[in-house]
Amino acid sequence: MTAFHEGRIRIPYKWPAGNVGSAFLEALADRRLLGSRCPRCATVYAPPRSICLQCHVAIDELSEVGPHGTVVASAAGFGLIRLDGARTALVHRTDAPLGARVHPVWSPAPQKSILDVVSFAATGETGDVEYGITPPPPRKLTLPQPVTVLGTACTPRGADRSGWSIPEMVHEVVSDLFARTGFKQRMVDTVITASSDFLDGRTISDMAVQDVVGAPGKSASKVSMDGLFALPYAVARLTSGVFNTCLVVAHAKASSADQRAISRAAFDPILIRPLGVTDHDVLRLQASRMGIADPSIVADGDGAVAILLTTGAGPVSLSEATFATLAHSPGDWDVAAAPGLSPMGPSDATAFMDLSSAQTALWERVLGPGTSLSHQWGFATGLERLATVHEALSKTPGTGLAHAVAGYVGQSQAVWRLRSQ
Amino acid sequence: MREAVCIVGCGQTHHVLQRRDVTAPELVHEAVSACLEDAGVSIQDVDAIVIGNMEHFEGIHLSDSYAADGAGAFGRPTFKVATGGTTGSSLSQAAAYLVGGGLYDSVLAVGWERLSDSAGETSTGIITAFDPIFERSTMGGAISGLAIHAGPYAERYGIRPEDAAVVTVQARQNAARNPHAHLRKAVTVEDVVASPLLSWPLRFLDMCPTSDGACAVLFSSRAWTGRHERGGAWIKGLSSSRNHAMLGDVFPGTPTFLNPLKIARDRAFAQAGIEDARRQIDVVELYDPCTYAALEWVEDLGLCGPGEGPSFYATGAASMDGDVAVNPSGGVLCTNPIGATGLVRVAEAALQVRGRAGQHQVAGCRTAVATGFGGSVWHEVMVLGVE
């Protein structure tokens, strides 16, 4: 075999902080911490938000909060710190444990950056660890007609695909799916792919796979989220009556890049990114709040999943779902409470997207017992969960739940119910 | 469609070269608030959100949750659709199917981009669309990709730089009446042909700008519309199609060539019952990334015959009071916040049908077409009309 070669690129970025963000950064130079107060619901956000998450109104009222606060999660040198007077928590550096009262340690040379606070140090006292805002429970989506899962195909679990290109990985599962179902490309009416431009290092990441999924000439599209969040679009294309069959394909290739480095780009560029927080750090923060000191974290892998959907009743069908989006920062809502999830009733086969052992316990609390992830495949993880449930229900009739998160600690939640006859 | 789909609200920011005074969520909030106000509803009336931008332009991963506060996404089903230049039109199609398929009664489509965040390196974010091994090192981003289509087209029909320049001249005249447009200063044919050559045959003033901006459009079912409507634009047809991914596969004359605009047009027009495009369509909001593309695509839409794009523009058929007003808003040549650009076409087409386009309203508009264009020659078409 020849050596594998790589393509590389760099892009510089600059992000404005806005009025509220700029006022916060200016105040840091005076060793003051500012929060913002919603004129409608009176929630105090710290760090300050310029738009209320709950009321969707602009906020311009700023006032001083802290400087003391309470650690509401703590792990690996990072913490969520609820400053006195605020409802939400700030992501920052601290070695103080959950429940500790803390005060900011200021930099001697302020730069009007979040790093003007070096860290938060314990005062020796303890405080209340409640924090965050809560949305109403997600509403159930009931499909206007059943949609059948004709078949699924996944990269063999545990297979090493590091030397394969993305189109090669996708071609393997699409070919496998067609072999299992007896379908051919020309029998597929529409295609929805799920992929991440960030994880792939490629703008319009679907361009890598569009030819092998048979998209040219067809009306097709791409959802830039985990595949379980792409399913509503696929289902809607079918229930609209415009299309009869839909191919849904997701892929991920963790071996192409440093996944921890990419995850840093998922955090607020002004308030969190300078701290160097990764996905693993927030997973540990979530676990710490649940009293789990050293959670196991699921390893990244390379994989693709393809599923074929059609309208009408069949052996295994999709019947209902819930979806909810929360907010970007784990400081805004309680990461140990799963506010985007609600109970979905009894299930004979549940598969979670649990990125850590703490998440296993958390999702189980709402959805009941289920099968854990052995590895994660980026945006293909949720469809792999669906394939797992589909496989179980194909053998033993019943109902099942496939679950996925987008964002690392449950910033967005998706649950699909499947039914077999 | 199972359910009829109506556009009941449109909002956009004032698009400019750079908005250094606001964050991305704040920019999104401006457009969403304007949309909800236009529809006369609140965020509580929205069942689900589809949101999109092209993340390599801002360097923000998982941008759907990053912009959640601005979009009003907290606690709501929110799906991110990001397909390149087509992002905005893909958002409109996703929202239309989510309502038309009977999943949700009201879906807010939100497109945004802050091209100033990539610090003058927008083309770099586009270069990464191309194959990392075979194409990235030799491709120059959006400009050369359009130039290699414009060159052969100009050659085939003997189109002169002056013919293409007319498109920019008209676009700027129209944009001058649109308060949301980015480039509103009048230019002449002489200005365009004297502007710097970027990649033959494209000159600086043949190309669209880079803008910061956001757009939001509210789609709803008949039942929801009955409860809230203030005058809507109904979706009569929609489709999309694309070519192959690698540039060598997509040239007219090669065996693998597809004409995605014609394919998407045929499907959408059949749904809408359009047989004579020039007679039946009042307004086209065309995704025109460059002048030559506008000339070629008014032909592909069936507004005129092959090679007749220049005369279609030169005779005034594409003007505000012509047979089919093309881009009363000024189009992409005047405004281009990429993740919003395709959605702005849909919003502007809806405003025309709803009679709410203000100074750039085309009198008596009953049928309007919005198009989207993006990577791998992906075209999307949506036909809007009165009920």
Rounded Cα distance, A235 and A367, in Å: 23
Instruction: Mutate one of B74, B89, B371 to test the A interface: name it (highest A CB count within 10 A).
Output: B74
ipTM above 0.85, yes or no: yes
CB-based contact A406:A414 (threshold 8 Å): yes
- Between vectors from CA A37 to CA A36 and to CA A41, what angle results, nearest 5°? 150
Sign of the torsion formed by the C-alpha atoms of A201, A203, A205 and A211: negative
Q: Which residue of B has its CA nearest to A415?
A: B77
Residues B77, A7: C-beta atoms closer than 8 Å? no
Rounded Cα distance, A59 and A40, in Å: 9
**Element (DSSP H or E) covering residue A146:** strand A140-154
B68 interface with A at CB cutoff 8 Å: yes
Check whether A1 has a pLDDT greater than 60.
Answer: no
How close A256 gets to chain B, by Cα (Å)? Answer: 12
- The structure tokens listed for A151 are 């078949």
Question: What's the burial of A108, exposed, middle or buried (CB within 10 Å: 0-12/13-18/19+)?
Answer: exposed
- The structure tokens listed for A11 are 């892009």
CB-based contact B335:B344 (threshold 8 Å): yes
Q: What is the DSSP string of A185-205?
A: GGG--EEEEE--HHHHT-TTG
Q: Which residues of B touch A409 (CB under 8 A)?
A: none
Rounded Cα distance, A32 and A51, in Å: 21
Q: Which residue of A has its CA nearest to B18?
A: A16
Which 8-state DSSP code applies to residue A113? S
CB-based contact A64:A34 (threshold 8 Å): yes
B240 interface with A at CB cutoff 8 Å: yes
Q: Which residues of B touch A242 (CB under 8 A)?
A: 1, 97, 100
A169-183 pLDDT, tens digit per residue, is: 999 999 999 999 999
Task: Give strand pairing partners of A309.
Answer: A149, A246
| pLDDT band with cut points at 50, 70 and 90 for residue B192 | very high
**Dihedral pair phi/psi, residue A98, rounded to 5°:** -50, 130
Residues A138, B75: C-beta atoms closer than 8 Å? yes
State percent of chain A over pLDDT 90.
Answer: 94
Task: Give strand pairing partners of B370.
Answer: B285, B382
Please identify among residues 73-112 of chain A the ones whose CB lies closer than 8 Å to any CB of chain B. Answer: none
Q: What is the pLDDT of residue A6?
A: 61
Q: Which residues of A touch B32 (CB under 8 A)?
A: 56
How close B112 gets to chain A, by Cα (Å)? Answer: 15
- The structure tokens listed for B334 are 């005047």
| pLDDT band with cut points at 50, 70 and 90 for residue A312 | confident
Q: Which residues of A touch B118 (CB under 8 A)?
A: 11-13
Whether the ω angle into residue A156 lies within 30 degrees of 0, i.e. cis, is: no
> How confident is the model over B258-273, as a mean pLDDT?
96
Q: What is the DSSP string of A226-250?
A: -HHHHHHHHHHHHHTTS-SEEEEEE
Q: What is the pLDDT of residue B227?
A: 84
B291-311 pLDDT, tens digit per residue, is: 999 999 999 999 999 999 999
Query: Tokens 């999104």 correspond to what residue?
Result: B28
Residues A325, B77: C-beta atoms closer than 8 Å? yes
**Element (DSSP H or E) covering residue A355:** none
Instruction: Mutate one of B80, B93, B126, B258 to test the A interface: name it (highest A CB count within 10 A).
Output: B80
Residues A18, B21: C-beta atoms closer than 8 Å? yes
Q: What is the pLDDT of residue B387?
A: 86
Chains A & B: contacts with CB separation below 8 Å? 267
How close A103 gets to chain B, by Cα (Å)? Answer: 28
| pLDDT band with cut points at 50, 70 and 90 for residue B138 | confident
Rounded Cα distance, A243 and A235, in Å: 10
> How confident is the model over B226-249, as a mean pLDDT?
87
* Beta strands at A245-253 and A117-126: parallel, antiparallel or unpaired: unpaired
Q: What is the pLDDT of residue A9?
A: 59
Q: Where are the alpha helices (DSSP H) in chain B?
A: 24-39, 63-66, 68-71, 87-100, 122-127, 142-157, 161-175, 189-194, 222-228, 260-272, 277-280, 291-300, 309-314, 338-354
Return the amino acid letter for B208: C
> How confident is the model over B345-359, as a mean pLDDT?
97
Check whether A5 has a pLDDT greater than 70.
Answer: no
How close A125 gets to chain B, by Cα (Å)? Answer: 34
Measure CA B339 to chain center.
Answer: 9
Strand, coil or helix: what is B150? Answer: helix
A227 interface with B at CB cutoff 8 Å: no
| pLDDT band with cut points at 50, 70 and 90 for residue A158 | confident
Residues A230, B66: C-beta atoms closer than 8 Å? no
Question: What's the burial of A122, exposed, middle or buried (CB within 10 Å: 0-12/13-18/19+)?
Answer: middle
Four-CA torsion A81, A84, A87, A88, nearest 10 degrees = -20
Strand, coil or helix: what is A157? Answer: coil
Residues A406, B72: C-beta atoms closer than 8 Å? no
Q: Which residues of A touch B133 (CB under 8 A)?
A: 5, 7
Residues B128, A9: C-beta atoms closer than 8 Å? yes
Rounded Cα distance, A225 and A198, in Å: 11
Nearest to B83 among A52, A206, A217 (CB): A206
Q: What is the pLDDT of residue B119?
A: 75
Q: What is the DSSP string of B37-64?
A: HHHT--GGG--EEEEE--GGGTT-TTHH
Closest CA to A351 of A340, A363, A343, A336: A363
Please identify among residues 380-419 of chain A the ones whose CB lies closer than 8 Å to any CB of chain B. Answer: 406-407, 411-412
